[in-house]
Structure 1
Amino acid sequence: MKSCAPLSLALAMIVLIVLSIAIAGCSEGVVSYDILVTKFDAGGHTAWSTKIGSGNQNLATAVTETPDAGYAVAGLVADSPRATAYPRVVRLDPDGRVLWDRTLDLSDVYSVAITGAPDGGFVVAQNINNFDSGKVSKIDADGQPVWNRTIDSALRAIIPARDGGFVLAGSRTFYIDANGTILWNRSFSSTSIREAAGGGFIAERSGVPYPDTSVFYLDNNGTVVWTTPVGSRESGKITSLFEDPTGDIEAVYTFYDSTKNKDVVMYMESEQVTLGRGGDITGRQPIVAVDPLTRTTDGGYAFLAYPFPGSSAFTTLPHSGSSLHFIRLSPGGAVAWDQSLGLSPAATPVSILQTRDGGYLTVVLVPS
């Protein structure tokens, strides 16, 4: 199963705005969103598109591919932009039809991450306050609750482990078994994490409130073996973390450069940072990819973004007169294709992943 990258920069801002308005109790001028899920073939042609809405506020924060080539979209649903946002999972079949739509419980959430379980169900990690409160829940293949565990950590990402357990990244880092029992609990904070091919885990910490973006290697017990800083921008965020077949780690570091902003449009830059097995930096390469993006099987990237005015660069945040683009990069970083999706500047890209059939799935928030 494949799952998406951590909460994107643009989506994180949308969620913050929605929650701040809910706290303030004001909804004037606030946009309500639906979730647009689109499947593309390997050549970038649209296979199907499904809009998920319920006449209220619909936000997606993660997506995972299922064994039957369907998808599970996790996010938030609220009666209005100012109302309490509850965790939600929507299951789609391989052709994009909604199989079921579940609101999980009554937790007011900031974001939701999801991964598949070996039995065909799902494990969902809820980030309740983005600081020290979270919940991890197991649901079965029909979306019915199996168990819930409250955890004293914000939960930002979840991955399956080889032994059937799960690893949770957040303000603390956890390893749980298939029943949700915590096997280890580390004070180490992380934004995303993945299993290393040779054992242990590769993690990263970036974004607010972590101005010093770093990559970490943890052993099987969650102990940090080495740490390597890869960027020091306050706005910087790792938007892709990948281990190649040789054991090298490739991290894409994306950041804003305010000195190049144009007409209040934020200028974004990225570089691919390569680290050896011991954590030493062996290379840096500028690339035009920005968040959200996915690593492709041929060593390139695919991402969603808005063209930056008057340049060959891209930005995550929408701006006047632009439309959202789907861009594919070759392994060398050249633009293989760049196509407009015809979505207005009010569209907010959430996630993109390459599917097992070589195609792509995109998740975008669009005005209701």
Structure 2
Amino acid sequence: MKTAQGKIRTLAVVAALILLTVAAGCFDRPLTPGHRTLEGDVWVLKLDDAGDREWFTVIDSGKFDEAFSIVEIPNGYAIAGSVSETGDFHPVPRGILLDREGTVIWDTTYPTPDDRRGTGIAYIDARGFAAAASRGLVILTDTEGSERHRTDLAAEGEYWAIAPSSAGGWIVAGGDRVARIDANGTVAWQQPAGGVSPDSIPIIVPDPMGGFLVSGEAAEAPGAIIAVKFDDRGAPVWNTTVQGGPGERYLLSAVRQDATGGYSLLAGVTDGEPAGVLEVSLGEDGSILRRSTINASAPVTWTPDGGYLSAVLAENDYGGALLRVERFDEDGAASWTSTQRLDEYSRVVALIPTSDGGSAVLGMYMKY
């Protein structure tokens, strides 16, 4: 028979485990403590070039809404995500288009016979969108979000990315492979992923001169990040793994190609001292040219003028959250800090600079 003190200790442990699961974002299914069901909403915050709030949009279907990526297009912002019936976690891919004022232009789901999350989205001129979903499902749409073709690679992996290919069509990466899909949805080729882990969304950087880079968590070295350069046919050219010190883990946030033909990576540093953001410069051959640490938080990305943007939840519980977005100059000195009070427990999903000099933050509410 348990004592009162023992019961209290047991309840405290259970509560702590629930909070840790939520904080880690480990949502294999909505949590259902008692008779309550977790509901997710998608939100987007737009800031101007001084960090002032321009608009804040919440997308609430009344179901369990998820979002995984956001891209800017000429007339607004496209989001890849999924939606599930509340309390019955069977996600289907979803695409959302916002105009430049944050108004929803269209919000479309793409039914699948099995559970699939929409995790990547890309856009080419006026030809429409391509979305990547779990296990290598690629959905091509027109500019209004209406499906015109789908290709199913029937691969492994929950999280897939997609980007325009310099050879035409699209590059998709996730699970255990990379592939090129032509503009009509035909698979041009498929190749092994080159050591990128299937447990997180990779980042694809097309090379205008041919080929592309795929970067993500290293499959063979948890906590490390790997960058793999491929040629136009998907053959690996080189790969580089970036590892930290004992107990240090990296969470990849942004990758870009430099003017010299090399690449730069930004990754959040976790479980290490001091915490911050690691910036790595790679040469054209994948050699590590420089490593430095920035006093910022992930997600983090670059600004067009050579600085950085960073977002973090300074406070976060079921009474609400405090989002802090900061801009740093190229030397890491803070230019401005913007704080925004959020109504619900939240997750920050992505942060992008925008063409008007501002930024957009994609996130999710988690509420009962």
RCO higher in structure (CA 8 A, sep ≥6): 1
Structure 2 partner of 1:89: 95
Gaps of 5+ in 2: 1-20, 197-201
Structure 2 partner of 1:286: 293
Distance 2:257 2:92 in 1: 34
The within-5 A match list for 1:2-151 is: 13-14=24-25, 16-17=26-27, 19-21=28-30, 30-68=37-75, 70-106=76-112, 107-127=114-134, 133-151=135-153
Say what the alpha-carbon RMSD is for the aligned residues.
2.8
Structure 1 partner of 2:8: none
Structure 1 partner of 2:186: 181
Of 184, 187, 199, the match for 2:210: 199
- Structure 1 SS opposite 2:193: coil
C-alpha deviation, 1:81, in angstroms: 4.3
Are 2:241 and 1:229 aligned? yes
Counterpart residue type for residue 71 of structure 1: Y
Change (3 A) 1:82 1:346: same
Change (3 A) 1:231 1:12: farther
Counterpart residue type for residue 198 of structure 1: M
Deviation per CA, 1:27-48: give whole Å up to 9, x if none: 8555312111122111111112
Structure 2 partner of 1:248: 262
Deviation per CA, 1:124-175: give whole Å up to 9, x if none: 1001xxxxx2310111111111011111333521001234311011120111
Distance 2:22 2:52 in 1: 25
Structure 1 partner of 2:166: 162
Structure 2 partner of 1:264: none
Deviation per CA, 1:41-74: give whole Å up to 9, x if none: 1111111221110222111111122222x11222
Instruction: Point out the structure with the larger strand share.
Output: 2
Do the aligned residues in 1 keep the contact of 2:66 with 2:81 (CA within 8 Å)?
A: yes
Structure 2 partner of 1:217: 229
Q: Which moved more, 1:231-240 or 1:39-48?
A: 231-240
* Structure showing greater Rg: 2
Distance 2:256 2:132 in 1: 22
Do the aligned residues in 1 keep the contact of 2:47 with 2:55 (CA within 8 Å)?
A: yes
Do the aligned residues in 1 keep the contact of 2:64 with 2:86 (CA within 8 Å)?
A: yes
Counterpart residue type for residue 239 of structure 1: S
Alignment identity in percent?
29
Gaps of 5+ in 1: 1-9, 128-132, 261-266, 309-316
Residue-pair matches, total? 334
Do the aligned residues in 2 keep the contact of 1:11 with 1:349 (CA within 8 Å)?
A: no
Do the aligned residues in 2 keep the contact of 1:254 with 1:271 (CA within 8 Å)?
A: yes
Distance 1:246 1:77 in 2: 42
Do the aligned residues in 2 keep the contact of 1:207 with 1:235 (CA within 8 Å)?
A: no
- TM-score, with normalisation over the residues of structure 1? 0.82
C-alpha deviation, 1:230, in angstroms: 1.0
